[in-house]
Structure 1
Amino acid sequence: MRIVIALGGNALLRRGEPMTAENQRANVRLASERIAEVAPDNELVIAHGNGPQVGLLALQAAAYTEVKAYPLDVLGAQTEAMIGYVIEQELGNILPPEQPLATLLTMIEVDRDDPAFATPTKPIGPTYDRETAEVLAAEGGWTIAADGDRFRRVVASPRPRRIFEIRPIRTLLESGAIVICAGGGGIPTMFDEHGKLHGVEAVIDKDLASALLARELDADLLVIATDVDGVYVDFGTPQQRRLGVVTPDELEGLDLPVGSMGPKVEAACRFARASGKEAVIGSLADIADIVRGTAGTRVRLS
């Protein structure tokens, strides 16, 4: 079975943890142990988030004032390589030595007229108290937004349109490699009025990019792995109930919190409708049961 796994941010860094290399590696090691359970007899493609890592690189770059700070597309490319390296190493320490692994920098096209550029919503980087966030916003020209009782930088999140490296991804997959790609939603790029391709100061949602990736690879299953075991109605109340099998129409018709679950629901629905196959939102810890069909919220046409 061909499976695309979209790793949530908790697979790399848990909320409140210091953003050290050691913490991120420890979390990737745990994620790799789970992924290794489903590696035998399956073709795997792994995507992942990178918001905190991009934010950290941006802060580090801002501390060096001799040159202009690097743009988000370049920082995105750096984090794709960094996170891919750690995933490759940790998976390689678990899987048989003959299992090939490959990380591929992935450019994804966005529309320069996407309305998202007028309303930044995608959080990146660490959280701050209000006073610190406002100072940083003034200094860097940031847009900030509330994240619980804290604040984070937010940037535009345009829709993914095309994956430029889809052919080499497919070639690697068909040769038996586990492919790590589209990290952080891919590197956002677009064509200018002269037809030249260049990077964009934005972040593509990794779940929507993963849905596009799964669709273009003709995947049998899209797994959106997060820190909860599915989508809940009446979450946080005595009546809360996890959804089992649900259609896209039913899922979109529910009154669910927007939050971080919104893009996951949208991505699952998009893949199910476009492919006629199944997307599952669930816990990374349950990934073996998700692949067996016994865990997570399963989104399919019927």
Structure 2
Amino acid sequence: HGNGPQVGMINLAFETAARAGAMSHPMPFPECGAMSQGYIGYHLQNALNRELADRGIARRAVTVVTQVEVDPTDSAFQNPTKPIGAFYTKENAEKLSAANGYAMKEDAGRGYRRVIASPKPQNVVELPMIKTLVDAGYVVIAVGGGGIPVIRDGNGYTGVPAVIDKDFASQTLADLLDADMLFILTAVEHVSLNYGKPDQIDLEVLKINEALDFIAQGHFAKGSMLPKVEAAVRFAAKKDGRVAVIGALEKASLAIEGKSGTRVER
């Protein structure tokens, strides 16, 4: 699941508290991400458990606070682009940058915001625990918001201020679990060419080589459909017989039956 609005709200609340003098420093961003995983996971698992019980299904959902390892040499750290938190004047942005070492950039003429990196996921730290729960029949909620970004630090891990794309994180977890299918559920029913235009074409099947051509031609919006298609291609390309499906959340059951969504395959 995503966490954009929630982690932004948590981060803003602590920034506001720090400005008001209630805290000496804003809450570090990895901790904000961890809070959002617990907050969203709590609601998701309770909703799922209630529905499972209502349907007489003897399974239960559980949330795993998940760390996702990233490469400290990832080029994304040299060019942070993901805006988070409140808007500031140029003067206040410069003060924040000097005081906390934040990278600050102007955001669409609305003021200055903190920007952080969006590195690619390399590994899921809690993979053994997630696999154990899946094998035991639990419905596992994991890598929420793309996971808490961490780097290896001796025998442990240290959080870093970054945002991992949730589609790439889900694809990485699916790879590591050796899943046969990956479903990426969103607000639209299909991957489309010429999206939102009179000549829009909805795709039911998308071969990997076709997807790569469409990506090169700029058919998919950055930060929207592009990472979903890229994640689906990465998953399907790793192993024969794998299929990724991109479709609408409310039509997930139809997508499982092959009656809705876009199938990405070799």
The AA in structure 2 aligned to 1:78 is M
- The offset of 1:67, in angstroms, is 2.1
Task: Tell me the equivalent position of 2:231.
Answer: 267
Contact 2:104 2:112 in 1 (8 A): no
Q: Is 1:173 aligned to residue 134 of structure 2?
A: yes
- Structure 1: any 5+ residue segments left out of the alignment? 1-47
- The offset of 1:217, in angstroms, is 1.0
Q: 2:3 aligns with which of 50, 54, 67?
A: 50
Task: Tell me the equivalent position of 2:39.
Answer: 82
- The offset of 1:136, in angstroms, is 6.7
Contact 1:215 1:275 in 2 (8 A): no
Determine what percentage of the aligned residue pairs are the same residue.
41
| RMSD of aligned alpha carbons | 2.3
Q: Is 1:217 aligned to residue 170 of structure 2?
A: no
**In 2 relative to 1, CA 300–188 (structure 1 residues): closer, same or farther, beyond 3 Å?**
same
- Structure with more relative contact order (C-alpha pairs < 8 Å, separation 6 or more): 1
The AA in structure 2 aligned to 1:284 is L
Q: Is 1:59 aligned to residue 12 of structure 2?
A: yes
- The offset of 1:100, in angstroms, is 1.7
- The offset of 1:105, in angstroms, is 0.8
State the distance in 2 between where 1:275 and 1:155 align: 33
Output the TM-score relative to the length of structure 1: 0.76
State the distance in 2 between where 1:246 and 1:75 align: 37
Q: Name the count of aligned residue pairs.
A: 249
- The offset of 1:150, in angstroms, is 9.5
**In 2 relative to 1, CA 269–102 (structure 1 residues): closer, same or farther, beyond 3 Å?**
same
**In 2 relative to 1, CA 58–100 (structure 1 residues): closer, same or farther, beyond 3 Å?**
same
State the distance in 1 between where 2:202 and 2:126 align: 37
The AA in structure 1 aligned to 2:265 is R
Q: Is 1:243 aligned to residue 198 of structure 2?
A: no
Map 1:91-240 to 2 at 5 A.
91-96=48-53, 98-124=58-84, 137-138=93-94, 140-141=96-97, 142-144=103-105, 146=107, 154-192=115-153, 197-240=157-200
**In 2 relative to 1, CA 155–239 (structure 1 residues): closer, same or farther, beyond 3 Å?**
same
- For the residue of structure 2 that corresponds to 1:239, the secondary structure is coil
**In 2 relative to 1, CA 188–274 (structure 1 residues): closer, same or farther, beyond 3 Å?**
same
- For the residue of structure 1 that corresponds to 2:73, the secondary structure is coil
**In 2 relative to 1, CA 114–55 (structure 1 residues): closer, same or farther, beyond 3 Å?**
same
User: Cα deviations across residues 143-183 of structure 1 (Å, max 9, x unaligned)?
Assistant: 34657999875421111001111111011011111000100
- Structure 2: any 5+ residue segments left out of the alignment? 98-102
**In 2 relative to 1, CA 148–251 (structure 1 residues): closer, same or farther, beyond 3 Å?**
farther
Task: Tell me the equivalent position of 2:100.
Answer: none
State the distance in 1 between where 2:16 and 2:127 align: 36
